[in-house]
Amino acid sequence: MKDAEESSNGKRRFRLIRGFRDLLPPETYLWNRLEAIARAVFESFGFGEIRPPILEAADLFEKSIGEDTDVAGKELYFWVDSPRANKGIRRVRAVDKNSAMRSTSTDSKVRDELLHQASSGAFDALAETDLVTLRPEATASACRAYIEHGMQQLPQPVKLYYLGPMFRRERPQKGRYRQFYQIGAEVLGGSDAPAIDAEVIEMVMTFFDRLGLTGVELDINSIGHAADNCRRGYVEKLKAALEQVKDKLGGDSQRRIETNPLRVLDSKLEHEQPIIEKLPRLADHLCDECRTHYAAVKRQLGLRGVIFKENWRLVRGLDYYMRTTFEITAKGLGSQNAVCGGGRYDGLVELLGGPPTKGIGFAIGEDRLILSLQESGKGATAQGRDVYIAWMGEHAYAAAVRAAKDLRSAGFSVELPPTELKFGKALERADKLGSRYALILGDNEVAEGTWTLKTLADGTQQKFTEPELLEFLRKP
Ligand code: AMP
C-alpha cells in the first residue's frame, strides 16, 4: 500500500495522501492570525462571510469553470454518491479483506464480478445529483447560493467573503497542493460601476498591506466582453495572426490556436515571448463601453492610491469573464508566485440558472501567502505562554488552579502542570515553552499571601499579592 507502511509492532502505519499536508502548531498560529486580519479587513468593507459546503454537484463546476479547463477537466475529485455504489464498494472491500487471508482465484473472480456490478449498477442508475465533487474553488458555490437563497431580493450588491479548503488533483510541488486554502470575496448584483471593481482591488491590497506582505505587484487588464465588436472580433484577428506564426510556436500553443487562442498569451515559454509581443492587442479592439469602463477603473484605482501595472496579456479563457481582470504576485514564491487572481464575471449567475446578475470577485491562495510571509521573515509564529505556574505542595495546588482560572479569564495564556514538579524542573519547562513569566507558588507563598513572579527573559523576580499580580500583568 502506497501511503501506509508497517510499523515495528506489525500494525499498518498510516500516512498522508500525496499532495495533502497537516498544518500544525505553531504554524497554525500564523494561519489564524492571517485569517483574523482577512475577516477584519473584509468586514470593514461591508462584506459578510458565506460558508458553502465542501461537497457540491460536479456539474456546478463543469459548467462554471468549463469542462475543457484543467481544473474541471481533469483535476476534480469526484465520485458517485449513491447508496448502491456505497454498498457495492463495501462488498468489494469485504472480499478484499478475506482474500488477504485466503487469496484464492475464486476470491479474485468474485471480487472482479462485484466490482463490475458495483460500478455498472452505480452508473446505470446515475442521477445528475449523484455525481458529487470536492469543490475546486468557491465562486460557483457563492453564485449557486445567491440564486438558491433568492439573494437578489436583498439590497444590492450582495458582498460575500469566504475562507476554506479547495481540492484539485494537480501535480504537487512547492506552492501547489491538492488540498489548498483560498480566501476570496464576491460582489453580486447591482451595477457594474467601475468603483466596485476598484474597491474590490483596494480591499485585497489593504489586506496584503496589513499583513506586511513584501514585493506585492498588481497587474490589471480589461478583456472586454464577448461580442463581435469587442473581444470576439479581437479573438478572430488573434487567431489569424497566430496562424501566420504557427510553425514557430510550441505544441501547447499550436493546439490552443483552435481551442482557446487567448490562452496563448499566458505562455511562459521563453522562445514564444518575442512572437507574442508582436501579436495584436485586445486593448486596441475594445468596444467604446468597455474602453470607457477600463479607463474609469484605472482612474478609481488612482483615487484610492492603489499602484498597478497594466498587463495586456492577462486574460481569462471563458466567455462569462469580462472587462476587469487582475492578478497579484508576491516575493519569495519562485514560479508559483501568483497569490491572487480576480475579475468580473457578469454572465456567471445567469449561466448557473439565475437572473442576469453583475459579478466580480477574487481568490487568494492562502498557502502561498503564508509561504511568502515566511520567506520574507514575517512568519513569526511565537505562541509562548504568558504565564507558567510552578507550584509545589497541596495548598499551593489549590491556589494554582484558582490563579490559572482567573488569569485565563483575564485573557492570558496559562500553563498549569498537572503534576507537581521540583521548582528547577518547572522553570526549565517554562523556558522551553517560551513562557514570559513563571508564577512561583509554594505552600509558604500561599500562607504568606504574596506570590513570586519571575520574568524569564532576565531572571528578575518580584513579589505581589494576588490582585496586584493581575494588575501588573495587565500593564502592556
Ligand atoms: P484560481 O482559482 O486558479 O484563480 O487560483 C487563485 C489562487 O489560488 C492562485 O493565485 C493561487 O495562489 C492559489 N492556488 C490555486 N491552485 C493552487 C494549488 N494547487 N495549491 C496552492 N495554491 C493554489
Only one residue has cell 514538579, namely: 421
pLDDT digits (tens, 9 = 90+) for 365-381: 999 999 999 988 887 77
Q: How far is the CA of 283 from the centre of ligand 1 (A)?
A: 26
Tell which residue, 230, 215, 325, has the closest CA to residue 286.
Answer: 230
Q: Residue 103: its pLDDT value, please?
A: 55
| Lowest-confidence region among 58-67, 216-225, 250-259, 464-473 | 58-67
Q: How far is the CA of 354 from the centre of ligand 1 (A)?
A: 27
Is the pLDDT at 102 greater than 70? The verdict is no
Q: Residue 72: its pLDDT value, please?
A: 73
Nearest CA, atom 15, ligand 1? 365
The stretch 331-357 carries a mean pLDDT of 90
Q: How far is the CA of 365 from the centre of ligand 1 (A)?
A: 5
Strands (E) across 265-382 are located at 309-310, 322-329, 338-344, 359-365
pLDDT digits (tens, 9 = 90+) for 405-436: 999 998 899 999 999 999 999 999 999 999 99
Which one is predicted more confidently, 260 or 222?
A: 222
Please enumerate in sequence order all residues whose Cβ is within 8 A of that of 51, keeping only pairs 6 or more positions apart, or say none: 162, 164
- Calculate the alpha carbon distances from 465 to 120, 405, 423, 426, 453 in Å: 76, 16, 20, 22, 10
Q: Which of 69, 316, 345, 368 to mutate to test the pocket of ligand 1 (most atoms within 8 A of CB)?
A: 368
Task: Return d(Cα 118, Cα 88) in angstroms, integer.
Answer: 4
Q: How far is the CA of 173 from the centre of ligand 1 (A)?
A: 12
User: b/e for 393-402, b at 16 or more Cβ within 10 A?
Assistant: bebbbebbee
Which one is predicted more confidently, 174 or 89?
A: 174
- Which amino acid, one-letter code, is at 205? M
pLDDT over 90 percentage in the chain: 66
Query: Which ligand 1 atom sits nearest the alpha carbon of residue 175?
Result: 21
Is the pLDDT at 114 greater than 70? The verdict is no
Q: What is the pTM of this model?
A: 0.87
Which one is predicted more confidently, 434 or 130?
A: 434
Q: Which residues line ligand 1 (CB under 6 A)?
A: 137, 168, 170, 175-177, 180, 182, 338-341, 363, 365, 367-368
Count of beta carbons in the 10 Å neighbourhood of residue 18: 11
**Cell numbers describing residue 287:** 468596444
The stretch 287-295 carries a mean pLDDT of 97
Q: Residue 377: its pLDDT value, please?
A: 83
Averaged confidence pLDDT in the chain? 89
Nearest CA, atom 11, ligand 1? 365
Confidence of residue 80 (pLDDT cuts 50, 70, 90): confident
Phi (first) and psi of residue 250, to 5 degrees: -75, 170
**Cell numbers describing residue 244:** 501566420
Confidence of residue 8 (pLDDT cuts 50, 70, 90): confident
Cβ(452)–Cβ(440) under 8 Å? yes
Tell which residue, 143, 215, 223, 123, has the closest CA to residue 184.
Answer: 143
Nearest CA, atom 12, ligand 1? 365
Is the pLDDT at 128 greater than 60? The verdict is no
End-to-end, the C-alpha distance of the chain in Å comes to: 54
Please enumerate in sequence order all residues whose Cβ is within 8 A of that of 16, keeping only pairs 6 or more positions apart, or say none: 3, 22
| Lowest-confidence region among 162-171, 242-251, 465-474 | 465-474
Q: Residue 335: its pLDDT value, please?
A: 73
Confidence of residue 1 (pLDDT cuts 50, 70, 90): very low
Phi-psi region of 24 (alpha: psi -120 to 50; beta: other; left: phi over 0): beta
Q: How far is the CA of 96 from the centre of ligand 1 (A)?
A: 38
Nearest CA, atom 14, ligand 1? 365
Confidence of residue 130 (pLDDT cuts 50, 70, 90): confident
Confidence of residue 141 (pLDDT cuts 50, 70, 90): very high
Task: Return d(Cα 27, Cα 23) in angstroms, integer.
Answer: 7
Please enumerate in sequence order all residues whose Cβ is within 8 A of that of 434, keeping only pairs 6 or more positions apart, or say none: 382, 383, 384, 385
Cβ(224)–Cβ(286) under 8 Å? yes
Nearest CA, atom 18, ligand 1? 176
Is the pLDDT at 176 greater than 60? The verdict is yes
CA 21 to chain CA centroid, Å, is 14
The stretch 168-187 carries a mean pLDDT of 92
Cβ(252)–Cβ(266) under 8 Å? no
Confidence of residue 74 (pLDDT cuts 50, 70, 90): confident
**Cell numbers describing residue 161:** 467573503
Confidence of residue 50 (pLDDT cuts 50, 70, 90): very high
Which one is predicted more confidently, 180 or 107?
A: 180
Is the pLDDT at 438 greater than 90? The verdict is yes
Cβ(200)–Cβ(362) under 8 Å? yes
Is the pLDDT at 2 greater than 50? The verdict is no
Query: Which ligand 1 atom sits nearest the alpha carbon of residue 178?
Result: 19
Task: Return d(Cα 302, Cα 195) in angstroms, integer.
Answer: 11
Only one residue has cell 475562507, namely: 163
Which one is predicted more confidently, 117 or 146?
A: 146
Only one residue has cell 499579592, namely: 465
Nearest CA, atom 13, ligand 1? 365
Phi-psi region of 212 (alpha: psi -120 to 50; beta: other; left: phi over 0): left
Q: CA dihedral in degrees (195, 181, 173, 273; nearest 10)?
A: -10
- Which amino acid, one-letter code, is at 31? W
Please enumerate in sequence order all residues whose Cβ is within 8 A of that of 328, keeping only pairs 6 or more positions apart, or say none: 204, 205, 208, 216, 217, 218, 219, 338, 339, 340, 341, 364
Q: Residue 400: its pLDDT value, please?
A: 95
